[in-house]
């Protein structure tokens, strides 16, 4: 489990496409301190398994499903990525519950300054995720825990504070680019429970 609080910006060293899937190697420093082979690591909000480590990087295999559902297949050498290690039982939950299971990708529309180094981020979201989004609800965008500030049709907006802008990949986005979206898991559980109640009622 993760919190959506980015620990470090990593740099993609290489993305090698394979017959099925791909292998990603990321250069980084801080998250390597206690990373071991087999450890989980969130890369742009996607939970991956570190399969190879050296002094300056880790590698992870990307399954075909991961490439299909996330933006990791769009990465190239030099791309910056948000990194987070799993939450420890003794840690504070500073963001929100993030599983690292991306629900889909949204389209980056704009990032506009609103004063005092704050920003207004707009993302177009897939229609199938709309039912999980609520005003002031939580969402993870490329692994960043954010609060929904506006919903206008299929466009989601959030406010980005200076610190978040400085320590994440947000400043590198290009219009039309894909971003990973993970909706609040509590919303998905509520939906499942309501479906169960409705089904039972019909019986």
Residues belonging to the active site? 2, 40, 47, 49, 63, 101, 147
Cα distances from 48 to residues 5, 94, 194, in angstroms, run: 16, 21, 31
What single DSSP character describes residue 74? Answer: G
What single DSSP character describes residue 2? Answer: B
Q: Which of 24, 33, 99, 95 is nearest to 60 (CA)?
A: 24
Residue 97 CA from chain centroid, whole number? 12
In whole angstroms, give the CA distance from residue 146 to residue 170: 12
Residue matched to tokens 């802008």: 165
Query: Max Cα separation, the chain?
Result: 60
Pairing of strands 40-43, 80-84: antiparallel
How many CB atoms lie under 10 A from the CB of residue 115? 7
């Amino acid at each position: 489990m993760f919190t959506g609080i980015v620990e470090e910006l990593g740099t993609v060293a290489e993305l090698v496409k394979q017959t099925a899937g791909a292998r990603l190697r990321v250069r980084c420093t801080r998250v390597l301190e206690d990373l071991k082979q087999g450890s989980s690591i969130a890369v742009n909000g996607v939970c991956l398994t570190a399969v190879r480590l050296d002094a300056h990087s880790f590698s992870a295999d990307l399954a075909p499903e991961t490439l299909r559902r996330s933006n990791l297949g769009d990465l190239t050498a030099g791309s910056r990525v948000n990194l987070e290690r799993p939450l420890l039982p003794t840690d504070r939950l500073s963001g929100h519950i993030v599983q690292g299971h991306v629900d889909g990708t949204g389209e980056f529309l704009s990032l506009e300054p609103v004063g005092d180094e704050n920003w207004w981020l707009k993302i177009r979201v897939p229609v199938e995720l709309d039912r999980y989004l609520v005003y002031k609800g939580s969402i993870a965008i490329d692994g960043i825990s954010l609060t929904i500030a506006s919903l206008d049709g299929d466009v989601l907006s959030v406010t980005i504070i200076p610190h978040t802008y400085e320590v994440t990949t947000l400043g590198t986005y290009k219009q039309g680019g894909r971003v990973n979206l993970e909706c609040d898991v509590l919303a998905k559980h509520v939906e499942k429970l309501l479906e169960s109640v409705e089904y039972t009622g019909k019986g």
